[in-house]
Structure 1
């Protein structure tokens, strides 16, 4: 987003939310992939507590049930990523739209988007078709959406959310969750969104050095090779992408961001016209970030800030809190759960490991977290390790790979881009031990706090 420090992006509607709302600039997910991150957010617990550690694991119970029981009309349009996809998860209504490319996952579930395409005699663009292209392996997951624009997944979700707001009898109080599938790969906006970015020659394309690539832990080196051999989400990666490939990928990714920004603006217009914004809080955020060639990597599943740090903006025109502010203290993405419950006048469960951000929103005394944590089990594109644990303070970050003597240690003050791995530097062994101790104490405290907690699937 331009307003959050990326001036290359065309995001006027999101920039407005930043200018008039409260931005948490150091909000970090608890898992660097979709399913465990979302299960953690909607359960108020870390992944090791929910039992959801990687994509594909079942989960369905959420704190949305508390909103429903308190009288809120609870509606989901788009991606939630519950498994099973169609569990109610506390919502009165769900209009499910899942990932853009679900072709080979073995989970045959026809969502609202599939049905809309079928009603128009069409099938979504996905691996099955993309693989027939002569230039498939050169595209790095960047393609033009060639079907009707209104049937692009993000346009479809945005328009369906507007349709619900415009046509359903006004429901108050309302909890509306809108899940845009993008800019998840494949990076496939209609060409009119990517073309302005393709015309630019100043995009800050990553260019990792050979020294950085050689120093990557074995698990991430394995991931680089895995992503070349296996085309997850229609992304066939390259160990040495050409500048023109990178520029095209970035242009399509940013084009998808601009498409989402446009749909956010339109949805806000409908909410305003129907009177919902007279007393409402709007939160815009994301379940993880993305490596777009950063550190030589593709997609998610690593613990770099480009993956774990996500935009988190709360905005209200109803005077609920003063806008135009940034909160720079560390917080976790799942902290939004108790925040939303408290905004609705509901006491969060005392077992929650998530902590409400409402004091920070309202300008009251608030203590940032001293450390944030991130967990990831071995996954479809993470075959080189069984489990990764990350801990990040204001200055230092450590990443632990289960069963390996290798790890990552970064001094974020001296090295904000996380290039210089100090794990094996004798001068920093004390810091390495100290952060490993932080992980140990965190896990012990978590296990004690959640000893009566049931799994997220129950």
Structure 2
């Protein structure tokens, strides 16, 4: 273990691919994540296995698809992870910030956890007091979130965008950055380190500090371009979701069917401002790692658990597996391990990080894992990537119009199938990269549609065979009853 690398895994919540300047987002200032892009390997087509927090993270930290590990919606219990394999291999495993295990404070294989959860926990875990809650309370402050925002006369016009008006150091992402740096500067560890830093942002409420909000309000930012034709072409579950999100506010977002350009501008500007605030904290963490003295043998990962429609397709937040939601940034920087400044264009899935990390630690991943190692690509060797990527979701409170959906995406086409429905979605991603024209019922696309339906069938058949003995690796004895 003497040469085992320190591994620092930075994961944000709900950050789109198009939020990093070095990856093409000219409207953003992200100098610190840009540094990782310049020194690292960027995966241009990394897609999540679930379009919401809990199932995506359970998939990421188990190495199995949601239908295999049984976690298909937010709020479902999960706690067993491959982090315990790192601990057993001699790593000191620490989490600062969001993991979104259920229960929130499950050990999940870590030696130390400093739990910070969703900024707005109105629907679940409302009375769970995390490290951030305690810090606010110690200052005699009350957290800004839905119950307080609802008192505002303009609440339904804000689309979840509010400035953080309490001390800047107590904004959740600033607090996470401070806590991670404090730990790195304070705690001596002789073992190799596995550190997961989970930022709660830019997940709503979109809550930058006033000066950062002002910065992005003063610049041109890309806004959603949604026509009446686009809205009429939406599948029924997304039409129902639009109506539901107007009736029920989620994460302090009260949605509108026809938001004004000014309202959309504020929502987007505040979201982008949150992203730059995270970038600043990433820079502080990188500096703290440098001072710690082992950067020559440290691998840094930056990614997110899913994206955000931000009004694209007329939709709020996630759940609908458009590329704005399923495609996330993933950057791995370790110049002494992997040649930097490279981009991998083949398709991968976010949970492929699991076996990749295990191999860095000298651990052989279990053969039942559905995730694959990315080390061939990182080493610059021939890498085929995935022919298809898959995404699935079931039973979430926002998906009132669909009990279960599955997505299959090739490099050129995407198909979404809804359980017990003759309706679905099919997009030609070459001719229609914005996913506006649904070809589901187009006779000219029938062969492509059947190919992707066959890919979904094969996906489930192969999964059943490969993971037939996996339940013992997924479900801890205390979890078994909850997951029945």
Equivalent residue for 1:99? Answer: 118
Residue 301 of structure 2 is aligned to residue 302 of structure 1? no
**Counterpart secondary structure, 1:48:** helix
2:405 matched to 1:388? yes
- Distance in 2, matches of 1:260 and 1:352, equals 32
Counterpart for residue 75 of structure 1: 94
CA-to-aligned-CA distance 1:296-332 (integer Å, 9 cap, x gap):
0000001100000000000014x10100000000001
Measured after TM superposition, the shift of residue 106 of structure 1 is: 4.9
TM-score w.r.t. the length of structure 2 is 0.93
| Aligned equivalents of 2:72, 2:25: Cα separation in 1 | 31
Native 8 Å contact 1:58 1:457 kept in 2: no
Structure-2 residue corresponding to 1:355: 372
The correspondence of residues 57-72 of structure 1 with structure 2, limited to 5 A, is: 57-72=76-91
Q: Which of 336, 350, 374 in structure 2 is aligned with 1:333?
A: 350
CA deviations 1:388-417 (Å, max 9, x no partner) are 100000101000011111111001111111
1:154 matched to 2:173? The reply is yes
Specify the SS of the correspondent of 2:471: coil
Residues 88-113 of structure 1, C-alpha deviation per residue, up to 9 Å, x if partnerless? 11100000000000123255211000
Q: Hey, what's the Cα distance between the residues in 1 that align with 2:100 and 2:142?
A: 21
CA distance in 1, matches of 2:422, 2:331: 38
Specify the SS of the correspondent of 1:76. strand
Stretch of structure 1 that moved more, 89-98 or 273-282: 273-282
Equivalent of residue 192 in structure 1, options 204, 207, 211: 211
Query: Aligned partners of 1:434 and 1:278: how far apart in 2?
Result: 46
Q: In the aligned structure 1, how far is the partner of 2:353 from the partner of 2:468?
A: 23
C-alpha distance in 2 between matches for 1:70 and 1:104: 38
* Residue number among 452, 462, 474 corresponding to 1:445 in the alignment: 462
Equivalent in the alignment of 1:127:
146
Q: Is the 8 A contact 1:334 1:354 kept in 2?
A: yes
Matches within 5 A, 1:214-225: 214-225=232-243
SS at match of 1:177: strand
Counterparts of 2:155 and 2:126, CA distance in 1? 24
Give distance in 2, aligned partners of 1:35 and 1:434. Answer: 30
CA separation in 1, counterparts of 2:358 and 2:125? 35
Q: Is residue 36 of structure 1 aligned with residue 55 of structure 2?
A: yes
Question: Does 2:23 correspond to 1:4?
Answer: yes
Report the counterpart of residue 207 of structure 1 in structure 2.
225
Aligned mate of 2:440, from 401, 423, 438: 423
TM-score normalised by length of structure 1 = 0.98
Contact 2:233 2:436 in 1 (8 A): no
CA RMSD of aligned residues (A): 0.9
Equivalent position SS for 2:62: coil
Are 1:435 and 2:452 an aligned pair? yes
3-state DSSP of counterpart to 2:202: coil
Deviation at 1:20, TM superposition (A): 1.2
Question: Residue 181 of structure 1: SS of its match in structure 2?
Answer: strand
Query: Shift in Å at residue 353 of structure 1?
Result: 0.5
- Decide whether the 8 Å contact of 1:143 with 1:188 is kept in 2: yes
Q: Which secondary structure state, in structure 1, belongs to the residue aligned with residue 343 of structure 2?
A: strand
Residue 25 of structure 1: SS of its match in structure 2? strand
* Structure 2 stretches lacking a partner, 5+ long: 1-19, 477-484
Indicate whether 1:179 and 2:198 are aligned.
yes
Partner of 1:454: 471
Distance 1:80 1:160, change over 3 A: same
1:180-238 residue CA offsets vs partner (Å, 9 max, x unmatched): 000000000101111111012x3220121101101101000000011111000000001
Contact residue 170 and residue 274 of structure 1 kept, 8 A: no
Deviation at 1:276, TM superposition (A): 2.8
SS at 1:178's partner residue?
Answer: strand
Q: Structure 1 regions of 5+ residues with no counterpart?
A: none
- Does residue 90 of structure 1 match 2:109? yes
Instruction: Find the aligned partners of 1:378 and 1:239 in 2 and give their Cα distance.
Output: 23
Aligned residue for 1:227? 245
Alpha-carbon offset, residue 71 of structure 1: 0.7
